[in-house]
Amino acid sequence: MTDIAKNAPSPAWSLLSHNAAQLFYRLLAALLICIVLSVLSDAFLSLGNILNVLRQASLTFFIASGLTLVVLTAGLDLSVGANVALSACLAGTVIHQTGSPTLGILAGLLTGGTVGLMNGVMVTAMRIPSFIATYGMLWVLNGVTYWYMAGETIHGFPAGFRQIGSGYFLGLPIPVYLLLVFLAIGTAFAQRTVWGQEIYAIGANPVAARLSGIPVNCRLLLVYTVSGTMAGLASIIFLSRLNSAEADIGESLTLPAIAAVLIGGTSLFGGVGTIFGTFVGALILTLVLNGMNLLSINANWQPLVTGIIVIIAVWLDMRTRRSAP
Amino acid sequence: MSDGAASAAASSAPLLELRGISKSFPGVKALDDVSFAIHPGEVHMLLGENGAGKSSLMKILCGAYTADAGEFYYKGENVTLSSTAEAQALGIAVIFQEFSLVPFLDIAQNIFLGREPKGRIPGTIDRRRILADAKRVLDGIGFDIDPKVVVDTLGVAQQQMVEIAKAISQNARILVMDEPTAALSDREVELLFALIARLKADGVAIVYISHRMAEVFAIGDRITVLRDGRRIDQVRPAEVTPDQLVRMMVGRNVDMTYPRRFAEQPGELVLQVKGLSAATGISDIDIEVRQGEIVGLCGLVGSGRTEVARAIFGADPVTTGEIIFDGKPITGEPDVAARRGIALIPESRKSEGLALLRSVGDNLVVAALKKLFPSRLYDPRGAQRTAEGLIRQLRIATPSARQMVGLLSGGNQQKVVIGKWLAAGARLFIFDEPTRGIDIGAKSEIFALIDRLVAEGAAALMISSEQIEICHVCDRAYVMRDGRIAGHLARSELTEENIVRLGMHHE
């Protein structure tokens, strides 16, 4: 920060163009991966595969989009995966008990949102660092879910409900429509509302934000609640797509969501990043993993590759940000 | 009262002599040709206002700063003093107001931190020797305490003793103390003075920075007065009166004038603070500010000025008392104060006033978002128009509203902080050191801006350590001391000498 402050003003450089350039490079990277994969694998450009990539990316995106808001405030939500598992199991139970998918969906969203609100209370009222609060919450949620499910699986839901995750409309999977809707809502919220601007201000300097009259704690509560609610939404799509719920379905979700946020250019230090960037991040991540599957590369390599991409993306971001005149 | 008389009367040759020391920072000459002699077994008092150059001199003595010009003589021999290691080798130790002890280690560990005697097994520490050596050092300064006590559990006075013990254990022959009695009770001050007498008898030289007139005369052997980075005079306590010292500290040729149109008749009562106390150390504060007025809030650094500003703005919780703004009481967080029309321009612009990595435009509209966009829908073009209007109005030197605010100069950054409250439509502006780190030209621009604000019907409460600024700009002023209002000065009484007199301790 001081490095940048020391430099002389340069009229040529402005923040907007810099952020736009960051996004442009990411889209370029995604395109490059697509070109390479289409050369290496005939199956890549098939309609089925492309729709599959989009559907996979959408699942990561739902979780990662809410998480992006948290990271924009320089926080972190490690409980999203565990939240998806609990929300899915409760939603599944409600559908089974009542036979009503609508009530089930409400239960899932409500569970996710409540967990998020509790995270927010820990971070604001109790002043626990978000990393620790949500890490503790992860264990608590896992504990509750495992106790509640007791090793059981909830299986078999009404056909209408299953359409959400696996149905098509005009040739596109339903989750892709949901992806577009939430990408638009998320972007509009972050870029075009007063609350969104306040979230950026809080992430950039929480002390200055508070002394500028922004109700910091209220906004943080909102952000964690939204993150939880998006986990609840993801749980519904998972439930619908898998047609079953188990206690352990959330375990492999948190880290890829964080990876999507970071690859998408949102800074863990807060104040920098976009929802659209996170979408591109989720896309890049899914494309690479999809490509490795198509090229029959052993799945054991996937975590390694994910890690390298995250490190390179963040490193490039920090380099360009530091060297920005 | 001349230099020659003082040194002729000296009982011994100087231990350390500084000749013609200068030190500059961008835009400021912190020290200008300062000479200063430290004699063994003497207490040399260092006096001066905030910003007179005391801290810089202290930092040069301990090797934290390197002087731009000047020479050092240790026992008559020319030496260099450009690192903390060199300072330590010369036996110079500094006891800052903020102690440098590790709270969770015990006294013995703190005294020997970083130079622990090694045990027989490589990589281990000889714990028994540390304890024995620590006990010996503590006995040496007459501090009767178990060296195994953890520092965290000690009071301020005891921690100070540990700092002194640490310095002595490093064979310090020159002890520099920065306002050592600031946080001590009367009894603890007596104990400290007894220790100082003991150290003097051992031939230790003491440089003592103080704001308390009484102790200057109680323990000082020599007094050096600094002002604006220059040594004004060196005297013996018997040769001067407290009044003469105060005049030396403030007296200067006034060559700066700030534009100010004083209102004939102050307007409506805007802010009324009644019996305000807060856990941050302020008590029983009564302040009134009227429309069209700039009211000064002065006193020494640490007297509670910033805490008063923060309490009024809701940044720190209030324990008792009332804040009435526009006739209605106000309580709660800063968002309440901001909504009602109070603005705080904080002391540390970079850490509390701005988001340095965001754009000038983002920073200018951040406090006005709800006012500019009542529908809560943010319009980037509207925000940019508002920002560009403010940039023109305040003549902020920036290539565009999209420029990162961290790249602007200090004066322009300050204009951005003020600008965000203009956009928010604030009617009471609380300025905390509005000209700190700003060059002279930008200063008068900032004051012209404040003058225009109040002329247009706003009110201002201004904290400043620059008494001259308070005298030129303010309609009247409150002076704080030890967390309380020590006095009020009307326009006719507003002189630097009166401010210093009220702000100093005369116990």
Chain segment B92-146, per-residue pLDDT in tens: 999 987 788 998 999 999 999 888 888 888 888 888 999 999 999 998 888 889 9
pLDDT of B227 reads 87
Say if residue A303's pLDDT is above 60: yes
pLDDT of B20 reads 93
- Three-state secondary structure call for residue B270: strand
pLDDT interval class at A12 (50, 70, 90): very low
Query: For residue A148, is it within any domain?
Result: yes
The answer to whether the CB atoms of A193 and B334 lie below 8 A apart is no
Q: Taking a C-beta distance cutoff of 8 angstroms, is the pair B167, B177 a contact?
A: no
pLDDT of B438 reads 74
Query: For residue A11, is it within any domain?
Result: no
**Three-class HEC string of B65-98:** CCCCEEEEEECCEEECCCCHHHHHHCCEEEECCC
- Structural domains of chain A, count: 1
Say if residue B85's pLDDT is above 50: yes
CB neighbourhood size of B118 (10 A): 11
The answer to whether the CB atoms of A11 and B367 lie below 8 A apart is no
* Average pLDDT value for residue range A280-304: 92
pLDDT interval class at B436 (50, 70, 90): confident
* Average pLDDT value for residue range B29-48: 91
Closest by Cβ to A211, choosing from B339, B346, B407:
B346
The structure tokens 């051992």 sit at B202
Residue closest to B220 by CA, chosen among B15, B3, B43: B43
Say if residue B6's pLDDT is above 70: no
The backbone torsions φ and ψ at residue B437, rounded to the nearest 5 degrees and listed phi first, read 70, 25
Query: For residue A268, is it within any domain?
Result: yes
Residue bearing the bigger pLDDT, A16 or B163: B163
Residues A119 and A225: their CA atoms lie apart, in Å, by: 8
Chain A residues with CB-CB distance to B351 below 8 A? 205, 207-208
* Average pLDDT value for residue range B51-79: 89
Give B116's DSSP letter.
P
User: Considering chain B, what percentage of its residues have pLDDT values greater than 90?
Assistant: 56
Highest mean pLDDT among A194-203, B139-148, B410-419: A194-203
- Chain B residues whose C-beta is within 8 A of a chain A C-beta are 313, 315, 333-335, 337-339, 344, 346, 350-359, 362, 365-367, 369-370, 373, 376-380, 398-400, 402-404, 406-408, 420, 424
Q: Taking a C-beta distance cutoff of 8 angstroms, is the pair B358, A203 a contact?
A: no
Per-residue b/e over B119-154, b at no fewer than 16 CB within 10 Å? Answer: eeeeeeebeeebbebbbebbeebebebebeeebeeb
Give ∠ CA B6-B9-B11 in degrees, rounded to 5. 120
pLDDT interval class at B244 (50, 70, 90): confident
Say if residue B48's pLDDT is above 80: yes
Residue bearing the bigger pLDDT, A128 or B466: A128
The answer to whether the CB atoms of A191 and B354 lie below 8 A apart is no
One-letter amino acid of A277: G
> pLDDT tens digits for B197-238?
999 999 999 999 987 788 889 999 999 999 888 998 999 999
User: Considering chain A, what percentage of its residues have pLDDT values greater than 70?
Assistant: 93
pLDDT interval class at B256 (50, 70, 90): low
Chain A residues with CB-CB distance to B339 below 8 A? 213
One-letter amino acid of B55: S
Query: For residue A2, is it within any domain?
Result: no
The structure tokens 């008792």 sit at B320
Q: Is A74 on the interface with B (CB under 8 A)?
A: no
The domain containing residue A91 runs over which residues? 17-323
The answer to whether the CB atoms of B351 and A192 lie below 8 A apart is no
The answer to whether the CB atoms of B404 and A214 lie below 8 A apart is no
> pLDDT tens digits for B313-357?
999 999 999 999 999 999 999 999 999 999 999 988 889 999 998
Say if residue A192's pLDDT is above 90: yes
Give ∠ CA A292-A293-A294 in degrees, rounded to 5. 90
pTM of the model: 0.79
* Average pLDDT value for residue range A9-19: 49
Q: What is the CA radius of gyration of chain B?
A: 26
Say if residue B2's pLDDT is above 80: no
pLDDT interval class at A69 (50, 70, 90): very high
Closest by Cβ to A14, choosing from B335, B370, B403:
B403
CATH of the domain at A319: 1.10.3470
Say if residue B252's pLDDT is above 60: no
DSSP H or E run through B363: helix B360-365
Domain coordinates in residue numbering, chain B: 270-503
B442 vs chain A: nearest CA distance in angstroms?
18
pLDDT interval class at A323 (50, 70, 90): very low
Mutate to test the interface with A, among B366, B384, B432 (most CBs of A within 10 A): B366
Residue bearing the bigger pLDDT, A207 or B179: A207
Q: Taking a C-beta distance cutoff of 8 angstroms, is the pair B362, A207 a contact?
A: no
pLDDT of B441 reads 67
One-letter amino acid of B340: R
pLDDT interval class at A14 (50, 70, 90): very low
pLDDT of A13 reads 43
Torsion of CA B402, B407, B410, B411, to 10 degrees: -40
Span B270-503 CATH architecture: 3-Layer(aba) Sandwich (3.40)
pLDDT interval class at B253 (50, 70, 90): very low
Query: For residue A201, is it within any domain?
Result: yes
For chain A, positions 262-291, list CB contacts with chain B under 8 A. 271-272
Give B42's DSSP letter.
-
Residue bearing the bigger pLDDT, B59 or B409: B59
Segment among A5-9, A41-45, A192-196 with least mean pLDDT: A5-9
Highest mean pLDDT among A117-131, A294-308, B489-503: A117-131
* Average pLDDT value for residue range A111-122: 98
Chain B residues with CB-CB distance to A192 below 8 A? 377-380
The answer to whether the CB atoms of B406 and A193 lie below 8 A apart is no
Closest by Cβ to A15, choosing from B373, B378, B404:
B404
Residue closest to B496 by CA, chosen among B285, B288, B253: B253
Q: What is the CA radius of gyration of chain A?
A: 20
